[in-house]
């Protein structure tokens, strides 16, 4: 094998952003993903795209996602999907480095894997699954795509293409992603040879088979029901009969469910001992929290939960009580909500969701100090907990105590260095404390991590106008501004 050149190893930021756009388009345009070949981002041995480079690509990919898609920032929902993903990553022996799992606010039934271990799950998938093992099966499948380096290995399937054909395919995908014009991308790709298209489809199918196999293995190792994957596939396959081909749910378009695939999945799962696993309470609470967020009006939630609780139509009564509590709070029925919150916290004093609801309710009732004590007490029992830390920071800001927020969130930032919400709260805390320059610096990082490079640059330029900055602070911010300007320049050059 020919050793890659120094130039091929030193990938530019422009290339990173171009690939991030390509990954984003492949995720949002499943038909196009099968018709267009992918560019060279490495080979199976990883000697072209290093782990560090792949991580940089993943971060650029994630900034593109935050800038173009409705990523859910709800701390409780974020913590749940990350916790579930971590269980699966820990059970996969090939999973190296960090993984980030996040939810997209969309009724689509789908999930996707990006470079660098960034895995997105549509909220519609969570609400549609009938068990936590089913949800875990789809996520385990996506984790396998990352661990088996399918994005990296794809080049081996098309490296025999002629350079013009490869250049056309890459341009079609990149331009389509940059302009959000999938029609243009499809038209530009019309000249790609039919043989190459079929070869790419076949390679994609082999990826899916391998991800299914390793996903089932991961499910079993993590203690989930390994038959959940074929069960979910089977249910999705039956549902597909209700749709015209052009109206299939996104999951069925990007993960075609055939009779052979279902049979293969059942065959693989049968090699593992039967595992009956109860769904976690967190799974049920997350589903109900999403349901409440989807109601147009809190009164809809009250009507729904009061009726289902009365009729006994629920999978988990406790989770339905939680949904009812959130609906009561949303409709300002604080007396009933307090009674229910007390019932739930007495039942499970350490349950994070209940502690947060109790604290929020105390604040809504005009007792913010009680709410602060509830959150502080919860954080004592769960040190470093992400949702509790975020809600405590917000409560402190609402109570006019910004000085206490900065040390709390800067410590939290150590474990969540790419988290845009933390930077946003830090910016607010600095501004409220009269530290405007620091506020601009944090706000710059917030914009940067949400993909808004122009705004990130502007905030740092404002911060650098402070004549009271020390030499060290000024040099540090100037260096960061240089980095952001270069990234913006590379991105702008790609868009021209």
d(CA 472, CA 164): 50
Note if 490 is an active site residue.
Answer: no
Contact 215, 140 (CB under 8 A): yes
DSSP string covering 425-486, please?
Answer: HHHHHHHHTT-HHHHHHHHHHHHHHTT-HHHHHHHHHHHTT-TT--HHHHHHHHHHHHHHHH
- Chain-centroid distance of CA 175 in Å reads 24
Neighbouring CB atoms inside 10 A of 296's CB total 7
Q: Looking at residue 122, what DSSP letter applies?
A: E
337: left (phi over 0), alpha (psi -120 to 50) or beta: alpha
192 token code pair: 């790609």
Q: In whole angstroms, how far apart are CA 67 and each of 63, 71, 450?
A: 6, 9, 5
d(CA 360, CA 182): 44
Note if 142 is an active site residue.
Answer: yes
Q: Looking at residue 164, what DSSP letter applies?
A: H
d(CA 145, CA 113): 7
To 10 degrees, the CA torsion angle through 456, 459, 464, 467? -170
Q: In whole angstroms, how far apart are CA 270 and each of 264, 266, 326, 400?
A: 10, 6, 41, 58
Helix (H, G, I), strand (E, B) or coil at 280: coil
Distance in angstroms between the alpha carbons of the first and the last residue of the chain: 36
d(CA 440, CA 438): 5
Annotated active-site residue in 212, 250, 288, 362: 212
Burial (Cβ within 10 Å: 0-12, 13-18, ≥19) of residue 454: exposed
Annotated active-site residue in 35, 142, 279, 445: 142
Q: How many CA atoms lie within 13 A of 174 on its CB side?
A: 19
Which positions are annotated as active-site residues? 142, 212
């Amino acid at each position: 094998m020919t050793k890659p050149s120094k130039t091929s190893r030193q990938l530019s930021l422009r290339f990173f952003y171009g690939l991030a756009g390509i990954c984003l388009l492949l995720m949002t345009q499943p038909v196009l993903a099968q018709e267009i070949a992918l560019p060279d981002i490495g080979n199976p041995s990883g000697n072209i795209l290093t782990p560090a480079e792949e991580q940089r690509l993943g971060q650029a990919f994630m900034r593109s996602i935050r800038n173009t898609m409705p990523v859910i920032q709800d701390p409780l929902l974020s913590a749940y999907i990350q916790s579930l993903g971590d269980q699966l990553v820990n059970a996969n022996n090939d999973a190296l480095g960090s993984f980030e799992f996040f939810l997209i606010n969309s009724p689509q039934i789908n999930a996707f894997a990006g470079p660098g271990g960034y895995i997105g799950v549509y909220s519609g998938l969570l609400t549609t699954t009938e068990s936590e093992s089913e949800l875990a099966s789809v996520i385990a499948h996506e984790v396998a795509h990352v661990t088996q380096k399918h994005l990296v290995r794809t080049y081996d399937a098309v490296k025999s293409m002629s350079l013009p054909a490869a250049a056309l395919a890459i341009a079609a995908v990149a331009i389509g992603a940059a302009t959000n014009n999938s029609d243009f991308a499809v038209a530009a790709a019309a000249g790609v040879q039919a043989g190459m298209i079929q070869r790419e489809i076949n390679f994609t199918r082999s990826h899916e088979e391998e991800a299914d196999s390793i996903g089932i293995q991961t499910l079993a190792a993590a203690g989930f029901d390994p038959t959940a994957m074929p069960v979910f596939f089977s249910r999705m396959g039956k549902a597909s009969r209700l749709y015209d081909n052009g109206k299939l749910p996104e999951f069925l378009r990007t993960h075609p469910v055939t009779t052979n695939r279902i049979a293969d999945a059942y065959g693989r799962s049968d090699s593992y001992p039967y595992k009956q696993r109860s769904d976690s309470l967190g799974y049920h609470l997350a589903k109900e929290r999403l349901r409440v967020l989807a109601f147009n009006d809190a009164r809809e939630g009250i009507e729904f939960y009061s009726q289902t609780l009365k009729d006994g139509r629920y999978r988990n009564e406790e989770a339905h009580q939680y949904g009812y509590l959130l609906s009561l709070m949303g409709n300002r029925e604080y007396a009933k909500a307090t009674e229910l919150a007390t019932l739930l916290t007495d039942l499970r004093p350490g349950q994070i969701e209940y502690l947060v609801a109790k604290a929020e309710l105390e604040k809504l009732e005009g007792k913010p100090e009680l709410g602060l004590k509830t959150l502080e007490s919860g954080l004592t029992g769960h040190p470093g907990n992400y949702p509790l830390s975020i809600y405590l920071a917000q409560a402190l800001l609402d109570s006019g105590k910004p000085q206490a927020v900065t040390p709390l969130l800067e410590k939290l930032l150590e474990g969540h260095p790419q988290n845009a919400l933390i930077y946003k709260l830090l910016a607010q805390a600095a501004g409220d404390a009269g530290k405007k320059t620091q506020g601009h610096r944090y706000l710059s990082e917030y914009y940067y991590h949400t993909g808004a490079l122009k705004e990130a640059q502007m905030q740092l330029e404002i911060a650098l106008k402070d004549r009271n900055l020390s030499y060290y602070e000024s040099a540090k911010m100037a260096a960061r501004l240089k980095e952001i300007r270069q990234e913006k320049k590379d991105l702008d050059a790609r868009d021209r």
